[in-house]
Every structure is written in C-alpha cells, then in structure tokens.
Chains A and B, each alone.
Chain A
Amino acid sequence: MTLNLAKTICAISITFFIGLVLTIMPMPTHFQWARPEWITLILIYWALYYPNYVGIMTAFFLGIMVDVLSGGLLGQTALALSLVAFSINFVRVKIRTFRHWQQALAILLLVAFKQLIMAWLQWIVGHPPTSTLYWLSSVFSVMLWPVLYLFMQAYLYQFNIR
C-alpha cells in the first residue's frame, strides 16, 4: 500500500517536473503567444482522474514554482491554478462522462478560466495583455489535450497505477 502510494506520488512528480521544464523551454519569439499551458493541462488531468492525490494545495505549490521560474508576480499562477483545481471539483463527474468534443470544450473553458484570472490580476497591477493573441494559448492547449490524455494513459500503464 505504502509502496503504491510512493510510486504514484513519484509518477505525478515526474509529470509535473516535465511540465515545468516545458513551461520555460526556450521558444522562438514569434511563437511566444502560442505556448501551451502545459502545467495547467497536466494539473487538470491529475485533478480530474486522481483527485485523491492532486488537489488545491498541490495546485498552489505548483503555481508558486511557476511564478518563481517565470519571474512573474509571486502568487499569481498559484491563485489561478488553485481556482482551477477547485472548480474541477464541481465538474469532475460530468467531464469524465462527456464525449470527446464536449470534454475538449470543457478543458478549453478551464484553461481559458486560468488565463482570465491571470489577465485580471495583471490588469489590477496595471499591465494587461496587449494583444488578443494572449488567448491563443488556450486553443493550443486544447489541441494538445488528446495527445496528453493518450500519453498519460500509456504512462500510467507503465507505472502500473490504477
């Protein structure tokens, strides 16, 4: 039992580590706006299917890490991700039973929700996003969702986690 727990936590940590690396991976300036919200996607996946392991507090600490890495306001991503993790609690059962396109739509809304909170915080601070391209990363994130989903299934199978 404890071995299983340790294994699961290990598996989750690895995905988050990869997510953080992808978040700060250098990208050409022109595609800067198209960077998918890796961390948000991975968090949504775990919070959807493994709520016992990943919850609001995980989201919070993950957000702090992202903020330190990205040099933004400390706590802004933490706030956004906690709210996302919280809102998943209400839609978990529904999303799991959704058809694929419905699920994609739900994910789009969740990622956009995260971006909205970030934009809103930036607006309070006084530097709102200057272009509508900002919302593009939600769209790109959703396009990645199926890939991420399949990858995670295979990954969990490898780790033998149920």
Chain B
Amino acid sequence: MQLVVAILLAAGLVFWDHHSDDLTRFRSHLSVVVYPVQWVADLPSKWMNSTNRYWYSVDKLKGEIKHLRQEQLINLGKLQKLSALEAENHRLRALLQSSDRKNDTLLIAEIMQVDPDPFSQQVLLSKGNDDEVYLGQPIIDENGLVGSIVEISPITSRAMLITDVSHAVPVENTRNGSRAIAVGTGEASRLELQHVPLTADFNEGDLLVTSGLGGKYPPGYPVGKVMKKIYDVGAPFLTIELEPVAKLGKSRQILLIKPGYKESQS
C-alpha cells in the first residue's frame, strides 16, 4: 500500500516536472529546506580557500599584487579605447537611425556547488531572488558565456551550463556572421552546432559569439571555438563540434549579466 502511494506520487511528480514548469515554485520552497545541507557541503572548500590565503607568503602576495596591478593597467588601457569605440558606435547607430544598444550591468556570484547528478550540467550560485536574479538570466565568466539561471530561491539560484543536453544558444560566427544554434552534449567540454547546411562557412578555429537572436542572451559574448568540422557528403548536415571558451569546470566566481534592454524595460 505504502509502495503504491510512493510510486504513484513519485511517478506523478516526474511526469509533472518533465512536462511543465508548475513545480518551479514548489522546488524553490524545498530548496530553502535543504539549504543547511548545501551550506555544510560548501564548508570544506570555503575553509580550504581561507587557509590557503592564510598561508600565503608576503612575497607571493606582493607578486600577486604586482601582477594584478599590471593587469589592471592593461585593462584600463583597453577600456579607454573601448569607450571611444562605444561613443563612435553610438554616433553611427544614431546616424543609421537604428535603436541604441544599452550597456549590460554585471553582478558577481560565487559557485557554491556543482551538480552531482551526471545527467545534467548545473551549478548552484550564491545569489538569489533577494539580489534581483531573475529566471533566464545569462551568466558569464571572464572568458565567455557559461549558461543561464533556471531556478531561483530567495538566497540561492541554480544555473544550467551551456553544455547541458537541454540547453541551446543562438550563435554567430565572428568571421563572417553566419548563424547557427549551439546545443550542449552533456559532456563538459563539447558543444555541437545543429542543422548546419553542408555548404555553410565554418572553419576550425572560428570563434562563435552569442547572436542575441531569441532575446534571451545579449549579443556579442563568446561561446566557443570550432574544434572539429566533419563534412560527410551523405549526411544532411555538417557536424560541427565546439569547445566552450568559458572555463566551465574551473572558475569559482561568475558574473550575472543584466542586459541593457532589460534595464530600460523595468
């Protein structure tokens, strides 16, 4: 009797969760309940980080500060040029009378936990509803696109990585502007382009960035480099494999983007 109840409930939940998004709220309530577990599981890496910092030698710290200063200088130099370019872009867009692109704002979040479930590629972030994180918000790291938010609770949120099998992102080739859709494969370092005609112009080493079509991701963030291109005359489409440019398995800090057009809406 108990078994029948349990199985019916579980099967119902699986079915419901798979076919609709109604359970998102329920999940976010439950994730508050399990937060202690997440907090405890995050402790060792927190301790590791702090003790690492504690044992840093002065020399090493000095070296790091010097390195960071230099990097900061170089970045500032690049930024000067960028602001000039941005102003020019604004003017040109005004001349063409096309709508202006607003700047995206960024928020830093920490990755608390990487998904133990081998079927999905998700991470848990330390920012939630209270920090104005919203569903579908894109996240990046210092190199490129990481994924987007799929679940929010008041203090944490869960993001799906671009390599998840159920994730797709519209991309365009920086070399020639050809568009495609990059889908995840479930493996940590591989994406695939879907439905690319045999005659399409993609070469190994091409950098693909988000195209901004579909409205979910703002345009221009690097997604991946073409790693392998398989041309099979008998196949209906090209097989193109990408390597994500973001360090998906390595970075602990990521950035949440709030696209400029969202800002102007709210």
Contacts and interface: CB of A to CB of B under 8 A. Distances in A.
Q: Do A and B bind each other?
A: yes
Contact of A75 (B11, B41, B166, B187): B11
A24 B2 contact: no
B34 A78 contact: no
A78 B26 CA distance: 16
A134 interface: yes
Given A21-B37, A32-B118, A55 B2 contact: yes
A71 to B, nearest CB: 5
Given A21-B41, A23-B116, A122-B119, A82 B151 contact: no
Interface in B108-122: 113-120, 122
A121 B40 CA distance: 30
B215 to A, nearest CB: 25
A70 B37 CA distance: 11
What size tier do the contact residues of chain A reach? 35 or more
Main secondary structure of the interface of A (DSSP, over half): helix
A116 interface: no
Interface of B: 2-3, 6-7, 9-14, 16-18, 23, 26-27, 30-31, 33-34, 36-38, 40-41, 44-45, 113-120, 122, 124, 151, 158, 165-166, 186-188, 249
A107 interface: no
A146 interface: no
Contact of B13 (A78, A86, A129): A78
A20 B37 contact: yes
A79 B11 contact: yes
A5 to B, nearest CB: 20
